[in-house]
């Protein structure tokens, strides 16, 4: 075998291994999960139970999030053993993912399944506190955040001009004040109309859409008994189950006034599940409907171009003024002939002594310059990983984890830049420069968040 044939053989083997590796490649945290019916023969090779996790509740009207168990909702038994592990980014963002008491089985529809029943009495102080906390959450429009198959459970509603908006999460309830406002969530249904009344969404209708794998390589082993989940949509409802169960038209109304000692309140939490087959949406594009329906994710090209034009126009004006001034000063310099006139400084020569003069706060300038470069390169590297797809929203907490790890690794750039700049200023306190570069900006951010958490 000659040398040319040997090289061709090695190239062929290398390309073959590369192609084989690419065919089975998935980014970290993005591998699909195959589900199948519990009664099918494929049950041991795929998942039959669809796990539903609950996350912390938040609102746009307050900066304080609460864990799911902070409110008096139904909780799962032995949840600590089934709670998924959280990475650094999830902890920093305040995510607290816990298992839920909702039991879901793939391709098994459920109707009006009871989760739990909560009873409140007016003479029990603990019940009064729990009920007051529920009212506070509905007053501030706190939102549930559920997770199924590593996807957020979305709430889709119709907006103006016949469009549909799907957002991650759904409200825990709504409140009708003295007068109904246009932006109130209670306007979604006319039955929520009584003033000074809370309406708790104690019934959730889940619609799970899946791809059966028809005409796909991965679905050949499942047939009609399996698939992959592509969307989970929730419709919250307020139902008083005491009359006709889940088909009751009477909402779960809670008066704004506290319960009297003789009053009792019973809240029953239920849910329904429906599975829909949709082979037009692939698993790889299952996030698209969320991104496309959110209006604020659209790029405002007109605003960007308008800002660029204004910046270019103002920069051109400043450049013209500077050029005219320089041209005038240079013309005056060229007209000077006598040596006595040369000693007189005017125009731009008046600032030549200030250009190379060390600043009075050279230490702070060098420290902030090093920290600024560290943050700039951290943003650049994080955006690079995000553009490559490693920081997908399916990989929860990856964005913040990557940003913090890259920030720590780029401390060398901050230290080198700060020390080099400080030395050019003639500084001699290099130990203080090292300590301030590594601790000043992170210490300020840590102190700010620490004080905010205390408040």
pLDDT tens string 20-74: 444 444 444 468 888 988 876 666 678 889 999 999 999 988 888 899 999 999 9
293: region left, alpha or beta (phi > 0 left; psi from -120 to 50 alpha): alpha
Do residues 238 and 251 touch, judged by C-beta distance below 8 A? yes
Q: How far apart are CA 198 and CA 385, in angstroms?
A: 45
- pLDDT at position 40 is 66
Q: Collapse the DSSP code of 113 into the 3-class scheme (helix H, G, I; strand E, B; otherwise coil) and give the result.
A: strand
Q: How far apart are CA 452 and CA 283, in angstroms?
A: 41
**Torsional sign, CA 326, 331, 337, 338:** negative
Mean residue pLDDT across the chain:
83
Q: How far apart are CA 218 and CA 31, in angstroms?
A: 13
Q: How far apart are CA 116 and CA 97, in angstroms?
A: 20
User: What is the DSSP-derived secondary structure letter of residue 341?
Assistant: H
Q: How far apart are CA 344 and CA 362, in angstroms?
A: 31
> Strands, E, within 315-401: which ranges?
none
Q: Work out whether strand 146-148 and strand 197-200 pair parallel, antiparallel, or are unpaired.
A: unpaired
Q: How far apart are CA 401 and CA 76, in angstroms?
A: 29
- pLDDT at position 81 is 59
**Torsional sign, CA 209, 65, 185, 69:** positive
- Contacts with 260 (C-beta within 8 Å, 6 or more apart), sequence order: 122
Q: How distant, in Å, are the alpha carbons of 47, 63, 67, 129, 205 from that of 57?
A: 28, 11, 6, 18, 19
- pLDDT at position 8 is 41
Q: Which residues of the chain have pLDDT under 70?
A: 1-30, 40-44, 78-81, 160-162, 180-183, 293-299, 336-349, 352-354, 455
Q: How distant, in Å, are the alpha carbons of 229, 369, 381, 420, 439 from that of 376?
A: 39, 10, 9, 18, 18
Q: How far apart are CA 90 and CA 85, in angstroms?
A: 10
pLDDT over 90 for what percent of the chain?
Answer: 40
Q: How many CB atoms lie within 10 A of CB 292?
A: 12
Task: Quote the pTM value.
Answer: 0.77
Beta-sheet strand order (sheet of 253-255): 173-176, 197-200, 253-255
- pLDDT at position 194 is 85
- pLDDT at position 23 is 41
Question: Facing residues of 113 across strands?
Answer: 271
């Amino acid at each position: 075998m000659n040398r040319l044939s040997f090289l061709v053989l090695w190239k062929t083997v290398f390309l073959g291994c590369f192609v084989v590796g690419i065919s089975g490649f998935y980014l970290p945290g993005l591998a699909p999960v195959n589900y199948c019916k519990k009664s099918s023969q494929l049950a041991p090779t795929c998942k039959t139970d669809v796990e539903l996790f609950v996350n912390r509740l938040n609102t746009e009207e307050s900066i304080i999030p609460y864990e799911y168990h902070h409110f008096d909702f139904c909780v799962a038994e032995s949840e600590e053993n089934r709670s998924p592990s959280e990475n650094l980014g999830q902890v920093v963002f305040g995510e607290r993912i816990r298992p839920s008491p909702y039991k879901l089985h793939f391709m098994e529809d459920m109707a009006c399944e009871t989760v739990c029943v909560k009873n409140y009495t007016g003479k029990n102080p603990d019940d009064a506190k729990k009920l007051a906390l529920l009212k506070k959450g509905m007053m501030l429009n706190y939102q549930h955040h559920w997770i199924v198959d590593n996807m957020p459970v979305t709430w889709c509603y119709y907006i103006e001009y016949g469009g549909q908006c799907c957002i991650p999460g759904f409200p825990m309830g709504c409140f009708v004040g003295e007068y109904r406002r246009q932006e109130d969530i209670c306007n979604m249904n006319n039955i929520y109309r009584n003033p000074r009344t809370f309406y708790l969404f104690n019934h959730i209708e889940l619609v799970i859409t899946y791809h059966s794998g028809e005409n796909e390589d991965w679905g050949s082993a499942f047939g009609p008994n399996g698939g992959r989940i592509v969307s989970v949509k929730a419709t919250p409802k307020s139902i008083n189950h005491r009359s006709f169960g889940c088909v009751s038209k009477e909402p779960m109304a809670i008066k704004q006034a506290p319960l009297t000692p003789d009053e009792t309140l019973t809240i029953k939490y239920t849910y329904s599940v429906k599975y829909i087959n949709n082979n037009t949406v692939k698993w790889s594009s299952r996030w698209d409907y969320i991104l496309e329906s959110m209006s604020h994710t659209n790029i405002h090209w007109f605003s960007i171009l308008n800002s660029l034009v204004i910046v270019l126009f103002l920069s051109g004006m400043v450049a013209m003024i500077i050029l005219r001034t320089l041209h005038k000063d240079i013309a005056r310099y060229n007209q000077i002939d006598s040596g006595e006139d040369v000693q007189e400084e005017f125009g731009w020569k008046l600032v030549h002594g200030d250009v190379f003069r060390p600043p009075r706060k050279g230490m702070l300038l060098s420290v902030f310059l090093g920290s600024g470069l560290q943050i700039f390169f951290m943003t650049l590297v994080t955006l690079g990983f995000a553009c490559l797809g490693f920081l997908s929203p399916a990989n929860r907490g990856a964005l913040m984890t990557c940003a913090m790890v890259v920030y720590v690794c780029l401390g060398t750039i901050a230290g080198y830049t700060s020390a080099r700049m400080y030395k050019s200023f003639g500084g001699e306190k290099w130990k203080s420069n090292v300590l301030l570069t590594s601790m000043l900006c992170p210490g300020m951010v840590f102190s700010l968040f620490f004080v905010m958490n205390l408040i």
